[in-house]
Amino acid sequence: MNFKAPPKKSLGQHFLTDRNMIDMIVLAVNPQPGDRLVEIGPGQGAITLPLLRRHGELTAIEFDRDLVVPLSAAAHGVGQLTVIHKDVLQVDFTRMAGEGTLRLVGNLPYNLSSPILFHALDHAAVVRDMHFMLQKEVVDRMAAGPGSKVYGRLSVMLQAYCTVTPLFDVPPAAFRPPPKVDSAVVRLVPHAAGAVGIANPQRFTEVVRSAFGQRRKTLRNALMGVCDSEQMEAAGVRPDARAEQVEVASFIRLANLPVAMPVEP
């Protein structure tokens, strides 16, 4: 393996080096014959090569052009690696999946983790599961329930579409260079399309964004112009509640209600 270039701060690169953690991630993914694995941000191949040895085939999406050639060279004789040099936010996972489904894996750049998660959600219909390493604080928010101090927009949006399961923590010493934060590995399994129950995804996104946009306000005030008190009560949501007190299913019911039309003078 010939990775001579140091990690790039501008890309938020922290390369995983701890063999025990790598083995735990591969065990969590547990690839099976016929799986289509797609790794986001393979870096220097810490997870890529063990997955290749286990599964034999992998597609990797890497933004850093300096890593593409050495990564391909390192995979020679290990398995069939296809490296796509592209910004993952520009990758059409639905088109990539074709008639099948994808399993996504990755040590995500922490400065882009939320955009990547939401991009993956846009293609949830073709994603069987996701195993991501993220900042532990982000994983805590992803899995938080109503009433938690860290329950927020990210919690609701992800849990509406996926089952979110934190798996294990990863200490800074497991990386080169060590980040200044703890990390964690999380599994996300998209719900079956018929089980999500969101009639209008755009409307749902608007309701959740507005509700958490001003956390200190009651929903009656935070959702002014989006939903009225009558609609909230019809959805079983107290207008005087705050967003962090409302469960995911209630946000879905609220967003699914018909939009009130303005009364003509």
- In this structure, what CATH number is given to the domain that contains residue 245? 1.10.8.100
Q: Which residue numbers belong to the known binding site for S-adenosyl-L-methionine? A: 14, 16, 41, 62, 87, 107
Which of 226, 249, 224, 250 shows the shortest CA–CA distance to 236?
250
pTM of the model: 0.91
Q: How far apart are CA 202 and CA 76, in angstroms?
A: 44
Number of domains in the chain: 2
- Residue 207's nearest CA partner among 190, 193, 222, 196 is 222
The maximal CA–CA distance of the chain, rounded, in angstroms, is: 75
Whether residue 132 is contained in a domain is answered as yes
What would the DSSP string read from start to end of 139-179?
A: HHHHH--TT-TT-SHHHHHHHHHEEEEEEEEE-GGGEESPP
Average pLDDT by stretches of 10, the chain with 265 residues? 56 78 97 96 91 96 89 93 96 97 93 92 95 96 96 96 97 89 97 90 95 90 91 93 96 87 44
**Residues 149 and 179 grouped into a single domain:** yes
pLDDT at residue 263, rounded to an integer: 40
Q: What pLDDT shows up at residue 43?
A: 85
Has residue 185 been placed in a domain? Answer: yes
Residue 220 lies in a domain: yes
In a shared domain, residues 129 and 43: yes
Range of the domain at 141: 9-194
Note the pLDDT of residue 193.
79
- Which residues does residue 175 pair with via DSSP β-bridges, in sequence order? 16
CA distance 105 to 38: 6
C-alpha span between 185 and 168 (Å, rounded): 6
> Which pLDDT score is estimated for 111?
83
Six-digit token string for 212:
């958490």
My answer on whether 213 and 162 are in the same domain is no
How far, in Å, CA of 139 to CA of 156, rounded? 13
Backbone angles phi, psi at 203, to 5 degrees: -65, -40
Binding residues: 14, 16, 41, 62, 87, 107
Q: Does residue 92 belong to any structural domain of this protein?
A: yes
